[in-house]
Chain A
């Protein structure tokens, strides 16, 4: 049987980066359980536009959980109450009739609000620019199995590479730390032969940039891994610590 609910959405509205923001409550009636969370916001925005009001600004792109653009903090959780999904994959069937749903932007000093629910996540791009790439020429595509890579390393690198850079780790962290993101980006390269060459320099450069941009110090609360839509593990953080310390000690 189809679930249809009436809800109140409490949304953070803020005109610009410097403007003072506040919550606005909007009532929505007859929302189907099969509606995705972002479709619910589309319905709200159509309603606002038809009433001559400003629509709610929020980030979104692929709407299938792979681009990392959507970024809403819903009822105390980044990407909402469901596990291992992004906001765009969240459906209204997870809410009940009469619920008040609080929707906030990511909160972190390194992610300033641009407008309403949209935050500036360029800090992540700057960290990648600091070293999240392979700059050595690795030649053309080699024959399969020409470079032996163990299944364990291949799987681990693949798991690290599943990070979509959405920033939920920073949003969930009480310290505003970006360690899960940085460690995943370091690990996905450091575990493979092409990326190993620059592993030490990469770890140092990316951590330096992360600290410079004002992200906090990790205190191992594990909030990041518990809220990560891709289930990226804190074993990546241990690997980053290990690589960074090794690199510094061999300097």
Chain B
């Protein structure tokens, strides 16, 4: 199993598998969020189900493990690549017409991490962490928390910017994961590109609905 650490393709395999798992999680998270638009009661039921129960805690730990692996391997690969590039930079820069997202995956990743810190503080800390440790910050009804936060337009803007970074990250990340897994070729490359764009767009719109919806409702109340 050492090849997952000491070969370039092994390290990239870890990046692609954790990445695909995180995309699947995003799709699940997005579906959950959308429930709130239709029924606050149903949303609160989901929140209770995913609160301080043992299976939710195990799943959270698994998810955290995936995220940590993805970030750690991403950082490691980026540092190695900087070293492989060498200290001398091109004076005439690099004018190859590559996609912007493809060249800025690490920077996009850092922006996503920053957004994640805000997000965990806004919701996860109050919905699960505080409940686990029986802290006074614990909130039992998730719907109220979400609606209160997004009635502040500034927060909605921050979340939308965060979603834009995730969109760029995914448009490159999804097809790139398939390429690394060897599941790509001349025929599938254009198809996978389109699939990546569609999945990334579904995720972005699905997540954006909640903050936009409650900001609009907040403005009219």
Chain A positions near chain B (C-beta within 8 angstroms): 10, 12, 23, 73-77, 81, 102, 104, 107-110, 172-177, 179, 207-208, 210-211, 214-223, 226-227, 233-235, 237-246, 248
Contact = CB atoms under 8 A, between A and B. Distances in A.
A164 to B, nearest CB: 19
Interface stretch (B27-35, B41-49, B77-85, B116-124): B77-85
Contacts of B175: 220
Contact of A109 (B7, B84, B90, B189): B84
A77 B96 CA distance: 6
A75 B8 contact: no
B8 A211 contact: yes
Contacts of B10: 248
A104 B92 contact: yes
Contacts of A239: 182, 185
Nearest to A107: B88
B89 interface: yes
A170 to B, nearest CB: 9
A10 to B, nearest CB: 8
Contacts of B91: 10, 12, 23, 102, 104
A207 B7 contact: yes
A238 B85 contact: no
B97 interface: yes
Interface of B: 3, 6-13, 77, 80-81, 83-86, 88-99, 102-103, 105, 172, 175-176, 179-186, 189
A78 B164 CA distance: 32
Contacts of A107: 85-86, 88-90
A226 B97 contact: yes
B182 A219 contact: no
A73 B89 CA distance: 12
Contact of B81 (A174, A207, A220, A233): A174
Interface centre among B10, B92, B103 (most CB of A within 10 A): B92
Interface of A is mostly: mixed
7 contacts: A75-B92, A76-B96, A177-B8, A220-B172, A221-B98, A238-B184, A241-B181
Nearest to A213: B84
Contacts of B176: 219-220
B84 A176 contact: yes
A242 B11 CA distance: 14
B102 A243 contact: no
Interface centre among B10, B12, B91 (most CB of A within 10 A): B91
Given A107-B88, A211-B8, A214-B84, A221 B103 contact: yes
Of all A-B residue pairs in the complex, the 9 with the closest CB atoms, nearest first, are: A242-B182, A76-B95, A216-B84, A176-B84, A175-B81, A238-B184, A102-B92, A109-B86, A241-B182
Given A74-B92, A211-B6, A244-B182, 6 more contacts: A81-B95, A108-B86, A176-B86, A219-B102, A241-B179, A245-B13
Nearest to B176: A220
A219 B6 CA distance: 17
B81 A234 contact: no
Nearest to B76: A217
A238 B95 contact: no
A109 B3 contact: no
B190 to A, nearest CB: 11
B186 A172 contact: no
B185 A238 contact: yes
A178 to B, nearest CB: 9
B58 to A, nearest CB: 27
Contacts of A222: 98-99, 102
B186 A233 contact: yes
B98 A226 contact: yes
A242 B183 contact: yes
Contacts of B99: 221-222
A218 B217 CA distance: 46
A215 B182 contact: no
B183 to A, nearest CB: 7
A104 B180 contact: no
A76 B92 contact: yes
Contacts of A219: 77, 81, 102, 105, 176
Contacts of A110: 84
Contacts of B94: 76, 172, 174, 223
Nearest to A172: B96
A191 B11 CA distance: 26
